[in-house]
Amino acid sequence: MSENVLLNLDSEPRFDAISAADIEPAMTEAMNTARTAIANLKKEATVNWDNTVEALTNITERVGRIWGVVAHLNSVADTPELRTAYNSMMPKVSEFFTTISQDIELYERFKAIKASTEYTRLSNAQKTKLEHDLRDFVLSGAELPAEQQAEFAALQAEGAQLAAAFSQNVLDATDAFALYFANGEQLAGQVNASDQPSSTANFAHDSEISGLTEEALAMFAAAAEAEGKSGYKIGLQMPHYLAVMQYAHNRELRRQLYYAYSTRASELGEVKWDNTANINRILQIAAREAQLLGFQNYAELSLATKMANAPKEVLAFLHDLANRAKPFAEKDLAEVKAYAHQHLELNDLQPWDLTYASEKLRQAKYAFSQTEVKKYFPANRVLAGLFAQIDKLYGVHFIEKQVPVWHPDVRYYELEQDGAIIGGVYMDLYARTGKRGGAWMNDYRGRRRFTTGNHAGELQTPIAYLVCNFTPPVAGNTARLSHDEILTLFHETGHGLHHLLTQVDELGVSGINGVEWDAVEMPSQFMENFVWEYDVLAGMSSHQDTGAVLPRELYNKMLAAKNFQSGLWMLRQMEFAQFDMEIYSHPGCDWQQTLQEVRRQVAVIPQPDFNRFAHSFSHIFAGGYSAGYYSYSWAEVLSADVYAAFEEEANATATGKRFWREVLAVGGSRPAMESFKAFRGREPTIDALLRHCGFFNETA
């Protein structure tokens, strides 16, 4: 056995023992071994599933798993050494996989299987995988002339590097920002006789004068203490940013953070982190790749593996939703403007005022605050409630197990059914320096049943990563989650269940693999609905002072406020999605001008000239959602319709088992629309989404 941890991932991964120095030798050895195995594969005189498709899966899975671990650590535990090793290997890894996907001899072997009598004996999952593989060979340039293949491969490698650079610039610009305050008076923007930090923070006093919650102040104090400082440190990580934008009375502080956040990784900040050139080149590469493959634009290429058929179809869907939402958004904005004018002396409501004024309006209108709600939801109880809901729906159980992890906050759970382990998940829930912002699920490995070699007949169970950026626990206290954070947790767990509950044995179409990108959000958004059910919330609640469960009265207020500013939220999503589809549909367009045009068409809140949102829009420039951000909205239609079945049917467990059987279990082994219709018995409709958002046919 090699001493290099990355070469021993068949056993329990020792995340705590991986070093940056392991990466280059592990990847080099793994890729060289794979190249030799592929050369031997192509020498086989006969062509069949086992010696071609199964063999290539065995070869590439090992390389992909090692690189997947490296990429994961680069996202959640970034260090200069790890980043250097990751960036230096990325072009070689891209070249390795592109070379395989363009290999005409492999392509011909796959085509030969499709044309053989063996094809008729393959399972439906195997046939689907083969169809996907043949499609992907074409979309990777396997049918291009050699010169164009080389150009395509170079573009793929450069694009991967640019995506990494884009993401790293956003992370570095986020982590570099800091504001320091000696005391609450400074936070509140008041003149203070002494600028010296207090030796002991008075959170209650500072909260009263600053508007910030005591929890937020403790978080800021802990951030300062981690640097050996007294007072408070405020950064741009989401828990910091949202705490200020939602509660800080100090308007200038809100403006400072808004400016810093909305100009991250742009020409208005540090030149070394400016993503302008990266965006320009990413779009050029996308357009050229599409052109080489015979598409009019990259949006068409992107949709070749999605449910939607054409960019015009997507844009029509987005325009329709925007038109439905806009009257409600205009009412939302008028309401918060009136409140800010009458009660907050804000006569010229600015973007950095909107979250603050909206929270004040929410409290006035529904008589509760997000801070009050948060006191009921300790993270450990929320996790227990999440697991209980999953058990109720599917009859599976999460059991914590002690394994090596990359950070002390990380927990690992095995998923068990009837005494058998069917999967596992690493949960990394809290924000920290060196960790990419946002929330996501990724897979460490997928489900497959081996048919050849030493492991023939064995079942490999799936394992997922579930990553969030919640407010971390401070000073030994239990972390408490906001309702929005609970929604995020259920959302990402929905992705995880899609991966973990698969019953397909072919790796390429098991779990989330092979699922159309615009359907992959359906199981995640579906799970969010349960966070609005009283029994679910009550079961995971325990007040920090009394231990009491969430009162029905407070829940009713939360439910009444569920669609608070849903029009504004929907329009914001339409702005993102339309911008994405437009810039990838029109090669050579001025993307900054396109963003302004989309905002003029869609938005009701004018953005300041300095806003550089696109420079940190990692989803579409570094996150796999290029010409695919609309997927969130389309999947909302599907997920709302799925949840409607649970509203209509009395037995949630029976409905849950059917959803597992018809959607989660089949993964990518059949088209997502077929899976939806198998569960729902019909085509999807938009009615449930409009109802859940509060968008009715009445005049807004």
The two structure tokens encoding residue 614? 């696109």
First-last CA distance in the chain? 68
Record: fold of 5-143? Glutathione S-transferase Yfyf (Class Pi); Chain A, domain 2 (1.20.1050)
**Calpha distance 55→373 (Å, rounded):** 53
Which of 357, 322, 362 lies closest to 563 in space, CA to CA? 362
Residues with Cβ < 8 Å from 654, sequence gap 6 or more?
A: none
197 neighbors 217 (Cβ within 8 angstroms): no
Stated pTM of the model: 0.94
- Calpha distance 458→452 (Å, rounded): 10
The alpha carbons of the chain give a radius of gyration, in whole angstroms, of 26
Nearest to 166 by CA among 269, 282, 259: 282
Annotation marks residue 147 as catalytic: no
- Nearest Cα neighbor of 687 from 633, 631, 630, 638 is 638
* Distance in angstroms (rounded) separating the CA atoms of residues 7 and 66: 7
Res 453: pLDDT? 86
* Strand order across the beta sheet in which 397-400 lies: 397-400, 411-417, 420-430, 463-470, 440-445
Active-site choice (215, 300, 492, 636): 492
465 phi and psi, to 5 degrees?
A: -105, 135
What b/e readout covers 372-384, taking b as 16+ CB neighbours within 10 angstroms?
A: ebbbbbbbebbbe
CA angle 496, 683, 491 (to 5 degrees): 20
- Residue 700 gets which letter from DSSP? -
Rounded Cα distance, 239 and 217, in Å: 11
Of the candidates 639, 394, 691, 659, the residue with the CA atom closest to the CA atom of residue 521: 639
196 secondary structure, DSSP code? S
Rounded CA-CA distance 199/196 in Å is 9
Quote the pLDDT of residue 613.
97
Residue type, 81: E
What pLDDT does residue 597 have? 97
The CATH T-level fold of domain 374-516+527-560 is: Neurolysin; domain 3 (1.10.1370)
The second-level CATH assignment, the architecture, of 298-327+566-693 is: Orthogonal Bundle (1.10)
pLDDT tens digit string along 354-396? 999 999 999 999 999 999 999 999 999 999 999 999 999 999 9
CA distance 76 to 69: 11
**Which portions of the chain are predicted below pLDDT 50?**
193, 199, 698-700
Residue 611, φ and ψ in degrees, nearest 5: -60, 125
What contacts 1, CB < 8 A, 6 or more positions away? 8
Angle between helices 214-225 and 203-210 (to 10 degrees): 120
Buried b (16+ CB within 10 A) or exposed e, 566-590: bbbbbbbbbbbbbbbbbbbbbbebe
Q: Do domains 298-327+566-693 and 374-516+527-560 have the same CATH topology?
A: yes
Which residues are 459's β-sheet partners?
449
pLDDT of residue 700: 38
CB 215, CB 374: distance < 8 Å: yes
Torsion of CA 626, 53, 520, 442, to 10 degrees: -80
CA distances from 622 to 436, 499, 518 (A): 12, 22, 17
Residue indicated by tokens 């948060």? 374
User: What's the chain's length in residues?
Assistant: 700
CA angle 589, 591, 593 (to 5 degrees): 95
- Nearest by Cα to 243 from 251, 254, 227: 254
- Sorted by where each begins, the domain ranges of the chain are 5-143, 177-263, 298-327+566-693, 374-516+527-560
